[in-house]
Amino acid sequence: MSRRIGDQLGGDVGVKETNAVTVAVLDDYQDAARAFGPWSELGEADVTVFTDHVAQAGALIERLAPFDVIVAMRERTRFPRAVLERLPRLRLLVSTGMSAGHIDLAAAGERGITVCGTGGRGEPPAELTWALILGLTRHVAEEDAGIRAGSWGLTVGTDLAGATLGVIGLGHLGHRVARVGLAFGMRVIAWSQNLDPEVAAAAGAEPVTKETLLREADVVTIHLKLSGRTTGLIGAADLALLKPTALLVNTSRGPIVDEAALVDALRSGRIGGAGLDVFDAEPLPPDHPLRSTPRTVLTPHIGYVSASAYRVFYGDAVEDIRAFLDGQPIRLLS
């Protein structure tokens, strides 16, 4: 689905022929871009917002061929060489955030495509992490469904006070999550491949080995960037180290955890539960096994989906476009 920003603000429209700069805003699942971005500052630019996701390369190229500027929502859509080479009008690609792992920057540079990023907010994903942890430990979704079905009191919750929180990745987000764990009265332990003991101490966390963290934590939460060395970081052997009551929470990126191994561990009862905001394939396919896997709380990659974050994302995107059109691009990623 597409929606034009302008006179037809509320209607579904196609892309019309125009001499104005054409701008595509992608993967706006919540149809929020129009409300949070100051698009009128772009003057006569022709802005179209797409509220659905296109994964197949051919269909994506057909959709985006008419556009001079593309605004991508983080990694929801990938731009490999094979796609960029078939977008002859594309002059500027803006990705919300300052990460470009989903864009072939070399191919963009060769074609004269400028790639820019935006600022962001670190608080929303840390807050969602705790929403998932609390949802799991107090069985919020199950109790809500039970009340609506006529029951009253189905579960017994798990205390956080006195439990152990294991934080994998103690950067900005991991640090914020760790501090909240301390406020709940939890023991906090942490591991990453290059964890500085001083950084751990500043977060109130005890640095431990990966194996120790997995064996001792009651809640394991992941806060790492996806890369070659973090893909598959938590596999079947790692999940086997967890307590049968342990909870795994992932608000970073799906491929950090072996998804098939996680489904198996949950269905066999080898771990207590999982709170997941990220998946290998997004949107999650209708027949995906996680949709029917027990002891899970699932959210649709909404860690950064908040009013404050969207104001920054779309506000900076408009600023990026204006600066580019003025011949002075900012927040360059290429």
User: Could you tell me if 120 and 95 are in contact, meaning their C-beta atoms sit under 8 angstroms apart?
Assistant: no
Is the bond preceding 283 in cis, omega lying within 30 degrees of 0? yes
Cα separations (Å) of 28 from 92, 123, 148, 305, 315? 18, 21, 31, 10, 15
User: Could you tell me if 259 and 281 are in contact, meaning their C-beta atoms sit under 8 angstroms apart?
Assistant: no
Quick check: is 53 catalytic?
A: no
| Residue in 139, 176, 301, 319 annotated catalytic | 301
| Residue in 3, 74, 176, 253 annotated catalytic | 253
Quick check: is 282 catalytic?
A: yes
Strands, E assignment, 124-240 = 164-168, 187-191, 206-207, 219-222
Residue of 50, 261, 221, 259 whose CA lies nearest to 131: 221
User: Could you tell me if 48 and 34 are in contact, meaning their C-beta atoms sit under 8 angstroms apart?
Assistant: no
DSSP code, position 194: T
| Residue in 282, 288, 295, 311 annotated catalytic | 282
Active site residues: 253, 282, 301
